[in-house]
Amino acid sequence: MSGHYSSENIGYGTPGHAPSTAPAQQPDQFAFDEASETEIARLLARYPEGRQASAVIPLLYLVQRQMGRQTGSAWVPRVAMDVVAARLGMPPIRVYEVATFYLMFNTRPIGRYHLQVCTTTPCWLRGSDEIVAACRAATGIKGWEENSADGLFTMTEVECLGACANAPILQVNDDFHEDLDGSRTKALLDALRRGEVPKPGSSIGRMCSAPIGGRTTLLGDETASTAPDAPHTA
Ligand code: FES
């Protein structure tokens, strides 16, 4: 699933896999805004002089977040990779390599809501097909790594998100929505379409990864099990 870089595919491809925007979609310029600059100063202070290149991933995230704030589409344009390279004193090719390797970086414009559907075995066994179908029905998106006609949504198939205990999982932008089924997925997407911010986490209200049917252990008298031993007397 990891992306790859070659000199041929810079500028073309799919979200998170390779710099993937046709040249016409690429902006001519990018500059960090005040909020990003404040964060950059904080990040760079973590690294010793001469080691600022270590901040390449956080800076690419800042680019993506700033683009989301400014345009509603959280992605990393090619020109912004060049700005990051200049800021960190790295050859641009090294920034391209990082941005195109990690799926978390979107290298072409995406919808306001990035629907990342986990279809790996645990989520699949727990109904990810239903999640996929509900996303397709609600957005009109037919394939993967495609944007909806209204520009609101992008659908990406992802590997295990590390939350299998609460499968199936749909990640929307940075939030995990867990324990979903088809109807709850539809309700979630309807809420997003209305501009609401649905609460992340379990959609059935379970606490963290607690068993769905409630506790199965430590069911006795808690006060008895936690009471300190009586002090010994001579
Ligand atoms: S398989 Fe979906 S979170 Fe692990």
CB of 53 sitting under 6 A from ligand 1: no
CB of 117 sitting under 6 A from ligand 1: no
CB of 81 sitting under 6 A from ligand 1: no
Structure tokens at 141: 């998106």
Ligand 1: centre distance to CA 176 (Å): 11
Under a CB-based contact definition with an 8 Å cutoff, are residues 26 and 12 in contact? no
Alpha helices, H only, the chain: 34-44, 56-71, 78-88, 92-101, 121-125, 128-139, 182-193, 222-226
Confidence of residue 189 (pLDDT cuts 50, 70, 90): very high
pLDDT (average), residues 176-184: 97
Tell me the domain boundaries of the chain. 1-109, 113-202
> Relative to the CA of 122, which ligand 1 atom is closest?
1
Task: Tell me the per-residue pLDDT of 4-14, one tens digit each, with 9 for 90 and over.
Answer: 323 333 333 34
Ligand 1: centre distance to CA 111 (Å): 23
Radius of gyration in angstroms for the set of CA atoms belonging to the chain, rounded to a whole number: 22
Question: Cα-flanking dihedrals φ and ψ of residue 66, to 5°?
Answer: -65, -40
Nearest to residue 5, comparing CAs of 147, 79, 102, 106? 102
Ligand 1: centre distance to CA 80 (Å): 32
Ligand 1: centre distance to CA 94 (Å): 31
71 in the Ramachandran plot: left (φ > 0), alpha (ψ -120 to 50) or beta? alpha
Residue 60 has pLDDT above 90, yes or no: yes
Which numeric CATH code is attached to 113-202?
3.40.30.10
Residue 70 has pLDDT above 80, yes or no: yes
Counted residue by residue, the chain has a size of: 234
Residue 223 has pLDDT above 80, yes or no: no
Ligand 1: centre distance to CA 125 (Å): 10
> Relative to the CA of 128, which ligand 1 atom is closest?
2
CB of 123 sitting under 6 A from ligand 1: yes
* % of the chain exceeding 70 in pLDDT: 84
- pLDDT at residue 87 in the model: 97
Q: CA-CA-CA-CA torsion for 105, 109, 112, 118, nearest 10 degrees? A: -50
Residue 56 has pLDDT above 60, yes or no: yes
**What CATH number does domain 1-109 carry, 1.10.760.10, 2.40.50.100, 1.10.10.1590, 3.40.80.10?**
1.10.10.1590
Ligand 1 pocket test, candidate residues 1, 117, 118, most atoms within 8 A of CB? 118
Ligand 1: centre distance to CA 17 (Å): 20
